[in-house]
Amino acid sequence: MHTRFVVVFLSLYFSSASQGKKSFHPVITLRTNPFSFAEVDAGAVLGIGYQFLPQWSVSIDPMIVLYSPYKFSREYPDEHEPVSGYKIRGDIKYYFRDFNYGKRGGFIALEFHYKKVTAKKWDSFGMNCVNGQCDFFQRTQYGEEKREEGIAVKAGLIRRLWSPRWAIEIYTGIGFKFKHFNETDLPAGGSFITAPSHDVTISSFQENGAYPIIPAGAKLIYRLF
């Protein structure tokens, strides 16, 4: 009698436990940055995310650089400086607890990015200069290639928006990045009168090297599966 009671009790216990534990299904999402058109190297982002475990996910966010809203000259308003290139940003996230998509969830993540941008810039050149003496001066266009690699640790929050499929990711962090600049398509016989400036932001270094960054932003997320 007692043996039968124990067997029935254990059967009911394991049955209720298995029913109470929700099964996990991998989640695939589309991601975009609503503020990508206001970045220094601005463009369109469309990425993909994959949550493969209750507390782990990965994402990759490719971006096509189309223009720079801050590259303009008050002195030479007719000189346009077209910009083109791409940026790839990816991360791996760890959620502080089992994350069910559509509900609020905090995370910590390791992020990597790579960017390559080409700009057509204008500057004044001294032509056929010898010992500081030039035949004449010419203002013309040349190419600037910028390559960038970075790594950061960030923390953030994902929470549901107006439907179970839509969510927003908000994050901030700290890291560093390397920048490399190269000038191309210089006029034959020309040399810079002054060293070329490489960025428009006050905080940027004017030379190749590494410096700290504080990544922060928001991503809109749509669940596919």
CA 148 to chain centre: 11
Looking at residue 40, what is its pLDDT?
Answer: 84
Q: For residues 59 and 21, what is the distance between their CA atoms, to the nearest angstrom?
A: 27
Residue 135: per-residue pLDDT: 81
pTM of the model: 0.74
Give the SS3 label for residue 165.
Answer: coil
Per-residue model confidence (pLDDT) at position 3 = 52
**Ramachandran region of residue 20, left (φ > 0), alpha (ψ -120 to 50) or beta?**
alpha
What pLDDT, on the 0 to 100 scale, is given for residue 134?
A: 82
What is d(CA 106, CA 169) in angstroms, rounded to the nearest whole number? 9
**Distance (Å, whole) CA 47 – CA 110:** 17
The token pair at 88 is: 């790839």
Q: What is the pLDDT of residue 69?
A: 78
Query: In this predicted structure, what is the pLDDT of residue 99?
Result: 62
Cα angle, residue 136 at apex, residues 131 and 137 outer, rounded to 5°: 100
Structure tokens at 76: 């030479």
- Which domains, and CATH codes, for the chain? 23-119+145-185+204-223 (2.40.160)
Q: Look at residue 9 in the predicted model and tell me its pLDDT.
A: 42
Over the chain (225 residues), the average pLDDT of each successive run of 10 is: 47 43 80 90 93 90 89 64 91 81 78 93 83 83 89 93 88 92 84 71 56 90 90
At 32 the pLDDT is: 95
Q: What is the predicted pLDDT for the residue at 170? A: 93
